[in-house]
Structure 1
Amino acid sequence: MRQPFGTAPSLAQMQAMADAALAALPPQFAAHLGDIVTQVQDFAEEDVLAELELESAYELSGLYSGIAMTEKSVEHSGAMPDRVFLYRIPILLEWAERGDVTLEHLVHHVLVHEIGHHFGLSDEDMHALEDMAG
């Protein structure tokens, strides 16, 4: 789904990349995702940025919204499904700045990072796992 030079993918096209990345997750992980929903937006909402104490919407490429599996209980039944937000413009900016990965790879990376929060992993946990793997 590589775009011609100078053409940024639309929200729908990036959503298709996220959906493909989600579908490609190994079955042992996918089986534990439940009804997780992915949503692509251009930027995070202002209230999200304020809650995270971020000054710029460009600082956030993805967000997990929900209750991690390690904290869920029967009391949470009937709650809204967990969601992963991917923010198109910050992802495109990182992709352009890096130049060493495909956009699909970067979308997959951000999605997997946010799904890590669903499994109860912190940012520090995930960075340590990436360092060990790479």
Structure 2
Amino acid sequence: MASVENLAAGSATAWAARMAPSLADIEVLADRALAQLPETFRELCRGVVLTIEDFPDDETTEEMQLESPFDLLGLFRGHGLAQQGAGPLSGQMPNMVFLYRRPILDYWAEHEETLGAIVTHVLVHEIGHHFGLSDEDIEAIEREAG
């Protein structure tokens, strides 16, 4: 059995050559998470644009009254399914889900969850807003799901 020192040294060696996950890496994780959703949910997400950025833009930071751009992991922008009625209006921007890489990485560094689990959680949370759910609705569903 390997000693704790050898395991720690091996882990340090493995991490020594690694770079922080890129925007493209986070996008791959998000695409995989989306692909794992049931087909009915994926169908309802058709046309939603998924965008990965390092941080929310200045307009979003101001609008959401964020103390720091690290305070927001993801955001849904658009008109949820409940508000769309028969469909989008002419000239209306597509519904968008934003995932913010740097705040997600910061959260990952501070918690004992895998990066994939965090990206999935944020993505599903924002898709919940696309479905017309409030933060309170989503939190209640998460509590019930355990």
TM-based fold match above 0.5 = yes
Cα pair distance change 1:120/1:75, threshold 3 Å: closer
Is the counterpart of residue 89 in structure 1 residue 102 in structure 2? Answer: yes
Match of 2:115 in 1: 103
Using structure 2 for the length normalisation, give the TM-score: 0.84
Q: Alignment RMSD, CA only?
A: 1.4
Q: 2:67 aligns with which of 51, 55, 62?
A: 55
Pairing partner for 2:55 from 27, 43, 54: 43
Of residues 101-110 and 4-13 in structure 1, the stretch that sits farther from structure 2 once superposed is 4-13
What's the offset of the Cα at 1:58?
Answer: 0.6
Question: In percent, how many aligned pairs have the same letter?
Answer: 47
Dislocated runs of 4+, deviation >3 Å: none
Measure the CA separation in 1 of the matches of 2:77 and 2:32.
20
1:17 aligns with 2:29: yes
Structure 2, unaligned runs of 5 or more? 1-13
Please state how far the C-alpha of 1:28 moved relative to its aligned partner: 1.6
User: Is there any run of 5+ residues in structure 1 with no aligned partner, and where?
Assistant: none
Q: Distance in 2 between matches of 1:69 and 1:29?
A: 12
TM-score for both structures, normalised by structure 1? 0.91
Aligned to 1:122: 134
**Bigger Rg, structure 1 or 2:** 2
Q: 1:7 to 1:125 in 2, by over 3 A?
A: same
More helix by share: 2
Which amino acid in structure 1 is aligned with residue 57 of structure 2?
E
* Aligned positions, number: 130
